[in-house]
Amino acid sequence: MDHETLRHVFDPFYTTKEVGKGTGMGMATVYGIVNQHQGWVEIDSRKGAGTTVSVYLPASSKSASDREESRPREDIRGSETILVVEDEEGVRRSLARSLSSQGYRVLEAENGPQALAIWNERSAEIDLLFTDMVMPEGMTGWELAEKLRDERPGLRVVIASGYNTEMVGHGKAAAAGMSYLAKPFSATVVGKTVRDCLDGQPA
């Protein structure tokens, strides 16, 4: 990468592609997730020679079994309809597959305007909004959630973010009656958060 690209590599939605050909490199999300886990990212890049991205994370003293969820997987299943809004296609498809495997009906949108179009047609079916916080097309997940809740105050909402928790935070989400989920997350954590939100339990 050249110097100008390196300067902006962690900016949300920064891209070297033509307009309409991409929403960003995804490095802003990487930075947010790593920073959230008390780590840091270093990039060494020379134009024409290649790029090395190094991620440094603190070691954990816990084993994988220590970190397993205590709630049985069968307790997180459901049959409600969830509107999943996520601009990263891979993440969105993964979420959709995970929630579908847990029994939920899933509607997908890649940004706020698409989500609004789906809502206008199928709002009566939707029980919960699961949205990423930072998205393209000029509408954040928070703004989307507030707009839909203006129409239906009781709508259940889960807001996810790969950035520092200060950006949304458990406090702000809880005060608004929404659930907050920090990226990255496992299928079990997603299922538990969604189930708790639908059941009216704090997240």
Given this model, what pLDDT does residue 166 score? 46
Those residues whose C-beta lies under 8 Å from the C-beta of residue 86, and which sit 6 or more positions away, are: 92, 95, 108, 110, 131, 132, 135, 160
**What structural domains and CATH numbers belong to the chain?**
3-56 (no CATH), 69-198 (3.40.50.2300)
Give pTM, 2 decimals.
0.67
Reduced to 3 states (helix: H, G, I; strand: E, B; else coil), residue 78 is: coil
Using 50 as the pLDDT threshold, list the residues of the chain that sit under it.
67-72, 166-168
Those residues whose C-beta lies under 8 Å from the C-beta of residue 101, and which sit 6 or more positions away, are: 187
Given this model, what pLDDT does residue 66 score? 54
Distance, CA of 193 to CA of 165 (rounded, Å): 16
Asked if residue 85 lies in contact with residue 115, where contact means CB atoms within 8 angstroms, the answer is yes
